[in-house]
Structure formats: structure tokens, C-alpha cells
Structure 1
Amino acid sequence: MTDLTIRSAEPTDHDAIWVILEPILRAGEAFALPRDWDRAQALAYWFAPGHHVHVALDGADVVGSYYLRANQLGAGDHVANGAYATHPKALGRGVARAMGLHSFETARGLRFTMMQFNIVVATNTRAVALWTGLGMREIGRLPGVFRHPVHGPVDALVMHRVL
């Protein structure tokens, strides 16, 4: 994707981010978030205090978004956590990879020293392959903790890397 740029999200991006988030939430296969959240609830979570939100643009079109935050408070606040969402029309075009790489650099700039994902759904093979390819290691497997709408209880991976 040659025209891809990533920048901090702005209030004018809310509609485009909701277009990306809604089908992911409704499918219930990737995020451990309520499937029935409405626009206001989803955007309040995505833009919660402490979340550093970015958008990926293909030209002028928002094709992805991610946020970074501290994984824990206090003694764990040097470890970043995040969530990533790509528009369905942009899948397979390198958007998630670009956001992942951008998020690592952004996290470093925010003085995080590590990245940890607490729930990477094991059946989300695209995400597992992406994060593994970007140097994240599976450091734990949580058996059956994710209620997948199609497969029932599935494992979730805890993934980590030093920044």
C-alpha cells in the first residue's frame, strides 16, 4: 500500500473508526468486548483517557485504527498494550502490519519498554501470524477463556516483546 500514512486520530475520524469497529464488534471473533455496544460506547472505549489513538489512511480514506495504552498501572506502566482494527476492504494490504510497526515506534516514543497483548484469540490466525512476524512471542496460553460465537470456548494467547 503505497499511499498509507498513519497519524493521531482526530474527532473528525470518529465516523470512519465506527465503520471499522462495528463489524468487528458484531462478529465477536477478535475483541473481548461486548458485541452489542453502540457507537457511543465503542468510541468512548476506543478513545478512553490514557489511550493514544491513531488512524491509518490510504489517501484520504481511514482504513485502520489502533490505540496504545499502559497495560497496567503503577509498577506495570512501562508495558504498552493496544488494540488494532482494519477496514474489511483493506484486509491483506499491509495495513495491520504498518499499524503494528508504527505502534512499536509510538510506544517507544511514549517511553514504554515492552508491548504485551493479554488476549490474542488463538483462532484469529491472521493476527497470530502478524504479531509473530513482528517479533511478538507467545508467553502464555489461556485455555478456553474467549467465548467465540462460532467455535465456543477457544484459547487466548498472551503475546509479548521488548521494544
Structure 2
Amino acid sequence: MQVREFRESDWPQVWAIVREVVRARDTFTYDPEMSESDGRATWVEAAPGRTVVAVDGARVLGTAKMGANRPGPGDHVSTASFMVAADARGRGVGTELLRDATAWARAAGFAGMQFNAVAESNRTAVALYERHGFRVVGTVPGAFAHPALGRVGLHIMYLEF
């Protein structure tokens, strides 16, 4: 597996992952009915932000986007989002994408990385982030409407560099 910069030719496979994850409604707060053009506008970051893919040969297994969490006085803190194809989960794809994103943010001079909305029910992601030094700094109760669990909290997670 290799993590590399997103290429235009990756978009069909990236869109398939984004569509699959968003329509599942169990991890991301994005509109599950988003169009492909809205998905592209949401996921593909313009410089100085960055979008990457984790590939095995020609197959895209997962993708990440990253950049400043906020503009202006908040631009010293980065953020990132990660999506992995359902049939590629449990194979270390998310770990490699997270390592790439935090290495990029450190090299770019950010003071830390903040995740704004991690569903507390997404235990796999929360555990991954915590293993890599992130901590929950707050939870908005009932802010995420999970399709099976009802309203669950959204964690704000942070890693200081």
C-alpha cells in the first residue's frame, strides 16, 4: 500500500468511497444525498490544503483530505478527514492515511491537528486517533443522528504537535 497525492484520474474511485461512506450515514455529517459535484467540491482540497489516496496498485483503498482547520487567527491548527472503502477496512489503510496527514501537518508547521466531528459511535476511528495521541477535548451530546443508534455525541479531538 502507498499513500500518494490525489490525481484527477483517481476521482471515480474516490467518489465511489465518498458516496458509500456518506450514504451509510453512520460516520460523517455530510448530506447523504450529495451529488457527485458537491462531493468533489467537499472532498478535493485546493492548495495549500491537500487530498491523498491510499492505493494498492491501481486500486484506491482510501482517501484523506487535510488543511487548516480555520482561516485567519485559527490557521495554525490543521484538520483532516479520512474515508476507507468498506472492503479495505481493518487492513491498516486508516492508520497509514492518519500517519501521512499528521506528518504533512507537522512538516507544514501547524501547531496541532483538530477533528471537529467524530461520531462517538465510530469506536474504530476514535480508538485509532487515541492510539496516535489524539484526545477527546469535548463532546457535543446528541449532535449526530446515527441511523441505528439514534442521537449520539460528536467528539472534538485534538493532537498538539
Fold match by TM threshold 0.5 = yes
Q: 2:6 — aligned with what?
A: 9
What TM-score, normalized by structure 2, do the two folds share?
A: 0.95
Is 1:122 the counterpart of 2:120? The answer is yes
Aligned residue for 1:34, secondary structure, equals coil
CA separation in 2, counterparts of 1:137 and 1:149?
Answer: 26
1:19 deviation in Å? Answer: 1.1
1:38 deviation in Å? Answer: 1.6
Alignment of 1:1-163 (within 5 A): 4-50=1-47, 51-163=49-161
Letter in 2 for 1:41: D
What TM-score, normalized by structure 1, do the two folds share?
A: 0.94
Unmatched tracts of structure 2, length 5 or more: none
1:49 deviation in Å? Answer: 3.3
Unmatched tracts of structure 1, length 5 or more: none
CA separation in 1, counterparts of 2:35 and 2:157?
Answer: 29
Aligned residue for 2:141, secondary structure, equals strand
User: Percent of counterpart pairs with the same letter?
Assistant: 32
Aligned length: 160
1:84 deviation in Å? Answer: 0.2
CA separation in 1, counterparts of 2:67 and 2:148?
Answer: 30
1:48 deviation in Å? Answer: 4.1
Letter in 2 for 1:58: D
Aligned residue for 1:141, secondary structure, equals strand
